[in-house]
Structure 1
Amino acid sequence: METNILLESGTNEVEILRFKVAGETYAINVVKVSELLHIDNIAKVPNADVAVPGVSLIRGEVITVIDMLQVLEGRKNADIAKAMTLVCEFNQLKVAFAIEEVLGISRITWADIQKPNDITNTSLVIGNINYKDEIVMLLDFEKIVMDISPQSGINLERVENVAFKDRTKYKVVSADDSPMIRDVIQKTLSKAGFGNIRFFNDGLETYNYIMDLYNEYGPDFKNHIDLLITDIEMPQLDGHTLTRRLKEHSVLQDLPVVIFSSLITDELRHKGESVGADAQMSKPQIDQLVKIVDELLEG
C-alpha cells in the first residue's frame, strides 16, 4: 500500500486508515500498515489462540493472521479468506489483521483524537475520533497482539536483568498513553534505582508541565527534570511534535529526549532524527532503556 510516509514530523498530524468490523468503524495509524490484500492461503496452527485462524505466506514471509471479528466481537469470521487484510509492522514484528472493509485514509491531527473516559489495562481503544459526525475508534494493535502472544511484545524477563544502583538524584518524566507501558517503564526504572519518575498519559499534558517548569524557574528548570521518555502515538500531542517543540526552544532544547515507541524502525527512524530526539528505541528493547538513559544523563 502506498501511503504518505513522508508526512512531515512534528506537525501533530497523523494519517489514519478507517475500516469496518461488524458495522463499527475503527482506525489504525497508516504508518503501521505496509499492505492491503486478500489472503487466499491460511495454514492452521495447532493450539493457536482462538483469534488466530492460522498463518499465511505473504511475499515469501510466514505471517500470523489475526481475526479482528473474533477480537472485537467474540465471534469467528466464517470465511477469513475473503476478508480484507491489513499487513502491519510494529514492535519489530509483522502481523496480518483480517477486517471487513477499508473505508479510506484521512489526515487529521492528534488534537482531534480524544482520550476515552475510561482507559484501563483491558481497553483496546486508545482514542476516539469525531469524523464527519461518526465516532471512529483508534485501536491499540500492540495490545491486541500482546494479549494473544505476550512474548511477542515487551519481554519482561529482560527487565529482571537490569542492574540496580542509586539513581534517585535524577528526575525523569515519561509520556505514554498506555497504562501497560507506563507500568513497565515504572518497574524497569524503579528496579534500576530511579526513584523520581513522573508520568503523563498524553503529550500535551507533558508539554504543559515542562513549560510550567520553565516559566517558573527559567534556565533552572533543569533542577526539576533531567530527562524525558516519550511515546509517539498519543492523543492531543504526539511524541514527535512534543520533541520538536522542546528542541526548537532556546532553553528547553537542552533537555534529553528518548523516543520509546513501537514505531521505531529503520524506515521511520529518520522522523525522530528530524525533530531532534537524542535517542530512539523500540519497545521490545526495554532492557536497553536504562543503558540509554544512563548514557544521556552521565555522559
Structure 2
Amino acid sequence: MAQSEILLEAGTNELEIIEFFVDEGPQRGCSSFGVNVAKVLEVIESPGLVSLPGAPHPCFMGTIPLRDIVLPVLDLAVWLGLPRLRRDHEIILVTRFNSRTTGFLASGVTNIHRFHWRDVEPPHQAINNLASNCVTGLVRQDGRFILLLDLEKIIFELDAALPDDAPPPSEVRRTALVVEDSGVMRHMIRERLDAANFEVALAGNGQQALELLLRAEANRPDIVISDIEMPLLDGYTLTRRIRETPVLADLPVILFSSLITDELRHKGQSVGADAQISKPQFGDLARIAMGLIEKRRRPPA
C-alpha cells in the first residue's frame, strides 16, 4: 500500500481511509475505526505480542524488527480503554507521520473506503468525553459507524519531549487564523504563536474557517495556518477556495499537518499553499509565518 498508489487529487475534499477493528468479545462485538490511508505504510501480522510489565505506558507492547528499522508497537485497545479478545492473526498498522514510524495493534482490517469530508460528522459529545478523546470524526458505512482516530494525539501524549524551539517574540503584533479540528493541537499551536506575539483566532474545520474569513472583511488575519484532515472541508480544499476567492486570494496559507511528506508535498503545491510544515515543528511554524507575512507586506521593488 505505497503512498504513490493513492489516487486522490488535492482540493476535491475527499479522503481515503483504511478501516480496522477491535474485537471486544462476544458480548460487545467489534468496534470499527479508521485512519487516513496516506499515513499507513503497510499492514503486517502481529507476531503475538503481549503487554510488557513495567512498560512506560500500559499500551506499549515493545518493539519488533521490520526490515531496517526497530518498530515500536502500541495496543490501540488499551489506549482507548476497550477490552480486546485475543485472537489469531491480529494485525499491526505500520504508520508513518510526524517523521516517525509506529505500529498500532488491532484485531483485524476490514477494507479501504473513500469518503467526502462533508460526510464526516464531528464526534458526538459522549465520544468527546472519553478519557482518550482521540476521535476526530465519524462516518457511516453499511449501517455502522467508523470512528476516525487522531493517532497524532496518542504519539504526542506518549512523547513529552516535543520540540520547543520557538523564535523570540516579535515587537510587531500579528494575527493568525488557526484551522485545526484537534483540541490538543489547537492548544499547542495557539500557545506557541501567543509566545511569538500573534493574536490567534480558531476554527475547527475548513468550512468554519471559510465562513469566518468571508465575514471578517477589514479584520481578516495576516495568515491562515491549517491542518489538512478535517470534517466538512479539508485543508487542501480550504486553500483552493481561498485562492479562488478574489478578496482572499493573496492571503498567505501554511499547511501544518502530519501528512506533509516529500511524497505528498505536491498536493499542497497544487492548491497554492505558501508553505507546508510537518507536525510537530512548532518553531518552524512561527518563523515561517512571520516571514510570509513580512513578504506580503513588503512593497514591490
Pick the TM interval, shorter chain. Answer: 0.7 to 0.9
Q: Does the Cα contact within 8 Å between 2:79 and 2:132 map onto a contact in 1?
A: no
Change (3 A) 1:265 1:135: same
2:183 counterpart residue number:
179
Instruction: Tell whether 2:272 aligns with 1:262.
Output: no
Give distance in 1, aligned partners of 2:252 and 2:157.
32
State yes or no: 1:208 paired with 2:197: no
What are the equivalent positions in structure 2 for 1:63-212 lying under 5 Å apart? 63-75=71-83, 78=86, 82-118=89-125, 119=128, 122-151=132-161, 154-155=162-163, 157-159=164-166, 162-168=167-173, 170-194=174-198, 196-212=199-215
Percent identical residues: 36
- Supply the distance in 2 between the matched residues of 1:265 and 1:42 (Cα, whole angstroms): 30
- How many residues align? The count is 284
Alignment pair present for 1:20 and 2:21: yes
1:237 aligns with 2:238: no
Q: Give the root-mean-square deviation of aligned CA atoms.
A: 2.2
The separation in 1 between residues aligned to 2:84 and 2:114, in whole angstroms, is: 32
1:210 Cα offset (Å) = 1.3
Q: Structure 2: how far apart are the matches of 1:16 and 1:188? A: 31
Could you tell me which amino acid in structure 1 is paired with residue 210 of structure 2?
A: Y
Distance 1:250 1:45 in 2: 59
The two structures have a TM-score, normalised by structure 1, of 0.88
- The code of the aligned residue for 2:200 comes to I
Q: In structure 2, do the counterparts of structure 1 residues 150 and 29 end up closer, same or farther at CA, with 3 Å as the change threshold?
A: same
SS at match of 1:252: coil
C-alpha displacement of 1:26: 0.8
Q: d(CA) in 1 for partners of 2:45 and 2:82? A: 22
**Contact 2:213-2:220 at 8 Å conserved across structures:** no
Structure 2 SS opposite 1:48: coil
Q: 1:57 aligns with which of 59, 65, 68?
A: 65
Q: Which amino acid aligns with 1:295?
A: G
**Unmatched 5+ residue regions in structure 2?**
24-29, 296-301
Looking at structure 2, the residues matched to 149 and 165 of structure 1 have their Cα atoms a distance apart, in angstroms, of 29
Contact (CA 8 Å) 1:70, 1:77: kept in 2 or not?
A: no
The answer for the alignment partner of 1:227 in structure 2 is 223
Q: Where is the helix percentage greater, Structure 1 or Structure 2? A: 1
- The Cα of 1:75 is off from its aligned counterpart by 4.6
Match of 1:271 in 2: 267
1:38 is matched with which residue?
A: 45
Structure 1 residues 149 and 78, CA gap change in structure 2 (3 angstroms): farther
Superposition TM-score, scaled by structure 2 size: 0.87
1:288 is matched with which residue?
284
State how far apart, in whole Å, the 2-side matches of 1:35 and 1:132 are. 25
Q: CA deviation at 1:244?
A: 0.9
Q: Return the letter of the residue paired with 1:165.
A: S
Task: Report the alpha carbon displacement of residue 178 of structure 1 after superposing the two structures with TM.
Answer: 0.9
Q: Does the CA-based 8 Å contact 1:41-1:57 persist in structure 2? A: no
Is the Cα–Cα contact under 8 Å of residues 39 and 56 in structure 1 kept in the other structure?
A: no
Q: What is the CA-CA distance between 1:254 and the residue it aligns to?
A: 0.4
Structure 1 gaps of 5+ residues are none
Question: Could you tell me how far 1:115 is from its partner in structure 2?
Answer: 0.7
